[in-house]
Amino acid sequence: MLRLIYIYYGTLLPGWNTLRALSHGQRHFIVLWLKYWVIHALLQAFGVLTDFFAGGLPFYAALKLILSVGLWFSAPYSSNHLYNIIKKYVMGKLEPIVEQGFRWHATLDQDEQSSGPRVNKHLLKRELSNLMAEIEMDQAELHKREFFKESNLDRLDRDSMHNVIEYLTERLETQQPGDGKPYRPRRLSDRIN
- Delimit the domains of the chain by residue range: 2-95, 121-173
Lowest average pLDDT, out of 75-89, 99-113, 152-166, goes to 152-166
Q: What is the pLDDT of residues 41-87, one digit of tens each?
A: 888 888 888 888 887 888 888 888 888 888 887 877 888 888 888 88
| pLDDT at residue 150, rounded to an integer | 63
Handedness of CA 96, 100, 103, 105 (dihedral sign): negative
pTM across the whole model: 0.47
Report the C-alpha gap between 26 and 37 in whole angstroms.
17
pLDDT of residue 159: 62
B/e letters for 111-147, b = 16+ CB within 10 Å, e = fewer, are: eeeeeeeeeeeeeeeeeeeeeeeeeeeeeeeeeeeee
Q: How confident is the model at residue 101 (pLDDT cuts 50, 70, 90)?
A: confident
